[in-house]
Structure 1
């Protein structure tokens, strides 16, 4: 499936931190799958971070697209440690 067109639907800056890995489209909905890149975001480089693979995805409902519900399935990699 061609993913480039779906890149235009994402909020500005999203692809700085996430890779668009898949899109599932059905009659009623579009699910866009994003995975956090394997680099610590610049604003957190001075903080204690942890990555042990991906955490459970977070599902965010976005604005409808041509009458279809749109969901962002976001898999985070980095966790800020709290002391």
Structure 2
């Protein structure tokens, strides 16, 4: 599925931090699936980190689009600070 056209429908700045990985469209709704990019927060770039997957997705309801409900299914990433054995996120 080509996702480039859908990029124009997302809130401004969303794709600075997230990748659009899928879109599911049905008769009544459109669901955008977003995953946070694997870019460590600036505050921790000088520390040894390891990506540890994602938190549970958060579903945000956005403005309707041509009479369809719009949802953003957002998966935020988490990293492990190896030195402190502590999880961080953006």
**Runs of 4+ residues over 2 Å off in structure 1:** 41-51, 75-83
What's the TM-score once normalised by structure 1's chain length?
Answer: 0.79
Matches within 5 A, 1:3-22: 3-22=3-22
CA distance in 2, matches of 1:79, 1:61: 30
Which ranges of structure 1 fall in alignment gaps of 5 or more residues?
none
C-alpha spacing 1:39/1:28, structure 2 compared with 1 (3 Å): same
In structure 2, do the counterparts of structure 1 residues 58 and 46 end up closer, same or farther at CA, with 3 Å as the change threshold? farther
Deviation, 1:76, is: 3.7
Larger Rg: 2
Q: Which moved more, 1:63-72 or 1:42-51?
A: 42-51
Residue 49 of structure 1, CA deviation: 7.9
- 1:51-77 deviation per Cα after TM superposition (whole angstroms, max 9, x unaligned): 421110000000000000000000444
Match of 1:80 in 2: 81
Question: How many residues in Structure 1 have an aligned counterpart in Structure 2?
Answer: 83
1:80: Cα distance to partner?
A: 10
In angstroms, what is the RMSD of aligned CA positions?
2.9
Deviation of 1:26 after TM superposition, in Å, equals 0.2
Structure 2: segments with no counterpart, 5+ residues = 85-90
TM-score, normalised via structure 2 length: 0.73
